[in-house]
């Protein structure tokens, strides 16, 4: 029966096509789809990021930091590398991404340096002041809270974002709903951070554990070495968004953490130039676009940025 010959031929063809389509759907899902409203698993998409116009005629002769960068030919910027959607380094490509990285890039463009030439240095919370004082970096953008104590050691442009201290726990945690529940609980934070200092002072019954970075705290949380991680909500929401089936952020923020760009303390010219640059980049829409392509991915819509605090020269 010759007319039946094509059947066995077509069958093996159909199966792989179906399998291929299924595999493709699974792959697309793995890359982008999840529960309704959940953020995509992938990080910032380069095509969503603003392109910052480099102010090629810009000069800042009164700033020793800017002049040194000009001689060098590029800026050296201190950042974090393990904070999802804020400052994150891709281990494969070595590339940095996130909202803080975008702020670093827009500042670079405003200061007349192509953002692509920025040399990033990962600096932990406890080492930021020293890095700025030693001239290891020109400025620092990494969830850096402006406060009076730090202002004695460094200068701050901004603020460019307002965060608040919060708590990250395992999804199955029933006992911790806010800082009032931390007595006798092991709570992890970063050495030298304001959240660590606040826990120490205001919640002395918590058993504090300090590491250099929050990602180590999160590893400790996932392996039941600690009961909670405490730092800014912006940081914790990023970790929770990466593994929503394992982690949750609880309670309401219990502090105000205005993020500034750290500069060498005596370089007022650089600080004021960065204040101007932030204001301009907020006005031209770049700030919002950058937020939406980065930190917005952890689930919070773009807020109105806080007013710049252009405090007098010191």
Of the candidate spans 29-37, 102-110, 187-195, 300-308, the one that interacts with ligand GLU by CB under 6 A turns out to be: 187-195
In the complex with ligand GLU, the residue whose CB is nearer, 142 or 264, is 142
Least CB distance from residue 147 to ligand GLU, whole Å? 8
In the complex with ligand GLU, the residue whose CB is nearer, 231 or 298, is 231
Is residue 187 close enough to count as binding ligand GLU by CB under 6 A?
Answer: no
**32 Cβ contact partners less than 8 Å away, ≥ 6 residues apart:** 40, 41, 42
Token couple for 85: 């959607």
Q: Which one, of 279, 283, 303, 276, lies nearest residue 291 by Cα?
A: 303
Residue 257 forms beta bridges with which residues? 163
Report d(CA 186, CA 247) in Å as an integer.
Answer: 16
Report d(CA 59, CA 81) in Å as an integer.
Answer: 30
Burial of 186: CB neighbours in 10 Å, binned 0-12, 13-18, 19+? middle
Is residue 144 close enough to count as binding ligand GLU by CB under 6 A?
Answer: yes
Strands 119-122 and 76-79: parallel
Of the candidate spans 38-46, 142-150, 172-180, 245-253, the one that interacts with ligand GLU by CB under 6 A turns out to be: 142-150
Task: Determine which residue in the list 108, 110, 166, 231 makes contact with ligand GLU, applying CB under 6 A.
Answer: 231
Q: Which one, of 118, 108, 119, 117, lies nearest residue 54 by Cα?
A: 108
Task: Determine which residue in the list 97, 108, 143, 215 makes contact with ligand GLU, applying CB under 6 A.
Answer: 143
Least CB distance from residue 81 to ligand GLU, whole Å? 12
In the complex with ligand GLU, the residue whose CB is nearer, 146 or 297, is 146
Least CB distance from residue 297 to ligand GLU, whole Å? 19
Binding residues for ligand GLU, rule: CB under 6 A, are 125, 142-145, 190, 193-195, 231-232, 257
């Amino acid at each position: 029966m010759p007319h039946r010959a094509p059947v066995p031929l077509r069958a093996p063809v159909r199966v792989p096509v179906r399998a291929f389509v299924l595999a493709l759907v699974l792959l697309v899902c793995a890359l982008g789809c999840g529960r309704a409203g959940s953020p995509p698993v992938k990080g910032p998409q380069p095509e969503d990021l603003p392109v910052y116009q480099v102010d090629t005629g810009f000069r800042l002769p009164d700033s020793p930091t800017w002049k040194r960068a000009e001689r060098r030919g590029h800026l050296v910027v201190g950042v974090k590398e393990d904070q999802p959607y804020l400052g994150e380094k891709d281990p494969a490509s070595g590339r940095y991404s996130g909202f803080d990285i975008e702020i670093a890039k827009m500042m670079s463009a405003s200061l007349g340096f192509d953002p692509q030439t920025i040399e990033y240095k990962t600096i932990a919370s406890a080492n930021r002041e020293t890095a700025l004082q030693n001239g290891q970096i020109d400025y620092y953008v990494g969830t850096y809270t402006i406060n009076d104590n730090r202002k004695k050691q460094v200068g701050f442009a901004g603020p460019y974002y307002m965060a608040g201290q919060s708590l990250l726990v395992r999804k199955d945690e029933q006992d911790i709903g806010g800082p009032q529940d931390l007595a006798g609980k092991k709570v992890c934070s970063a050495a030298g951070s304001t959240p660590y200092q606040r826990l120490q002072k205001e919640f002395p019954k918590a058993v504090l554990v300090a590491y250099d970075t929050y990602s180590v705290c999160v590893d400790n949380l996932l392996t039941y070495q600690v009961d909670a991680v405490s730092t800014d909500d912006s940081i914790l929401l990023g970790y929770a968004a990466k593994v929503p089936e394992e982690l949750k952020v609880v309670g309401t923020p219990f502090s105000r953490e205005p993020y500034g760009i750290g500069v060498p303390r005596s370089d007022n010219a650089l600080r004021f130039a960065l204040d101007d640059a932030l204001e301009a980049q907020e006005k031209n829409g770049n700030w919002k676009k950058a937020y939406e392509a980065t930190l917005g991915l952890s689930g919070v819509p773009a807020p109105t940025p806080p007013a710049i605090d252009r405090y007098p020269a010191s």
